[in-house]
Amino acid sequence: MISPIKWFELVAAVAAREVRQLISRPQEIIFCGFMPVIWVLIVWGLLYNGVITDVPVAYVDHDNTSMSREIGRALDADRTMGLVTYNSHDEALAALKHGSVYGIIEVPEGYMKEQYKGTGSSLSVYLDENRYAVAGTIQTSIATIMSAMTLQNMAKVTLLTGSGVSGAERIVSGVHSDFYALGNMQFSFLAFLGSNLMPGVIMLAAVLSFVTAIVREVYLYRINEWMDTAQHYVTAALCGKLLPHYFFYCLVILAYIGLFAGVSGFTALKASSLFIWFICGAACLLVMLTCAILICGIAPTWRFSLVVASGFAAPALPFTGFSMPLDSMSDIARTFSKCLPLTWFIEGQTQQWTLGADIWDMGTTFGVFLLMIFIPLILGIPVFRWKYRIFAKRELEAEADHVS
């Protein structure tokens, strides 16, 4: 039985060996360290503007009245859209098919007449829903502008009927709502997409980095050297090897939080804690680490380990609930999503950053993280120990054959 002090000494020795190996292999530092950071910065740079502006939208005016021109001016004044005038529906549709515009707004003939008659008439709007983010933003802008213009026209009619200014005001403002966009008051796509894409990139890179560090010993035939450094204590060998990588990605998580809480200006609620947010990210990284151990233990070859690691982390984004609520998914998809650590990191991030939850309110989130950490360790370490003993024996036999 090894003492705790001796175990930590072995972990430190293996960690020092891992750092020396990384220094001697700059390509691994580039692809497992620098490239993920660069991709995070690219995502941040692409979304930094935050809002969709001046999207080209076709405007076809069949009515050619003062009201239709007023509608055109109001739509064009919105920051989301930049109207492009077309003479016919066919011309606008051709532009939409060619990708020159993202949608079509069409004012039907007789629109103004129908409005004054009270029978009503509608604009025709065509949007490419495959570009969901753009289409949704355009649709929201059109609905907001047309609602505002409807209220203005209602106020004008009310004034003409003799209700007076106060009467018109009561009718127009009789029903309203106070809307609070928690965590994203600016309606920024950086907060919407970046807060999910960036952690997804980080977690994928982390698990690939963990798996690469382990399987490197296999394809370089250094398993025995690695285990000798740890005096054949598998837990010390794994902990020491993965510790430098885990520390690095904890720094990346810390930088990611700094981008959102500091540089990007998305200030969290006063009740929230950046420290708890960081602990949530560190816990998710620890799940990735233990899953990497399990993957390397059960995968028959080192190449297959990398494939399984990619397949485990890469599809996680659609299942986090940011694009489609988990409650709206099928039972199978919802169950699968609950097994992905990124889902729980996004949950914890929302609880802390957006809602300012107390740490006691996050008991379920951290409880699931603990289960996700210990289950792969309980299953993975015995299999890993058995498998890598076989690999070490084969390595010694290969060396003996080479010497003979």
Residue 51 has pLDDT above 50, yes or no: yes
pTM over 0.85: no
Q: What is the band of 100 on the pLDDT scale with cuts at 50, 70, 90?
A: confident
Q: What is the band of 234 on the pLDDT scale with cuts at 50, 70, 90?
A: very high
Residue 180 has pLDDT above 50, yes or no: no
**How confident is the model at residue 206, as a pLDDT?**
94
DSSP 88: S
CA distance 201 to 289: 15
Q: Which CATH class is domain 55-172?
A: alpha beta
Is the backbone of residue 107 left (phi > 0), alpha (psi -120 to 50) or beta?
Answer: beta
Q: What is the band of 220 on the pLDDT scale with cuts at 50, 70, 90?
A: confident
CA distance 137 to 396: 63
Q: Are 354 and 182 in contact (CB under 8 A)?
A: yes
CA distance 143 to 75: 10
**How confident is the model at residue 331, as a pLDDT?**
83
The mean-pLDDT minimum among 121-125, 129-133, 147-151, 174-178 falls in 174-178
DSSP string, 118-179: TS----EEEE-TTSHHHHHHHHHHHHHHHHHHHHHHHHHHHHHTT-HHHHHHHHHTSS----
**How confident is the model at residue 251, as a pLDDT?**
95
**How confident is the model at residue 281, as a pLDDT?**
93
**How confident is the model at residue 118, as a pLDDT?**
62
Q: Are 282 and 253 in contact (CB under 8 A)?
A: yes
Residue 77 has pLDDT above 80, yes or no: yes
Q: Name, of 94-98, 233-237, 308-312, the range with top average pLDDT.
A: 233-237
Enumerate the domain spans of the chain: 4-48+186-403, 55-172
CA distance 197 to 42: 11
**How confident is the model at residue 14, as a pLDDT?**
96
Mean local confidence (pLDDT), 256-264: 74
**How confident is the model at residue 179, as a pLDDT?**
47
Mean local confidence (pLDDT), 149-161: 57
Give the pairing of strands 103-107 and 124-127: antiparallel
CA distance 281 to 252: 10
Contact partners, residue 195, CB within 8 Å, separation at least 6:
260, 322, 346, 349, 353
- Locate 364 and state its tokens: 């379920």
CA distance 219 to 224: 12
Q: What is the band of 264 on the pLDDT scale with cuts at 50, 70, 90?
A: low
Residues 375-390 pLDDT 10s: 999 999 999 999 888 8
Give the pairing of strands 124-127 and 81-86: unpaired
Residue 125: phi and psi, rounded to 5, are -120, 125
The mean-pLDDT minimum among 237-241, 324-328, 376-380 falls in 324-328
Q: What is the band of 111 on the pLDDT scale with cuts at 50, 70, 90?
A: confident
CA distance 133 to 131: 6
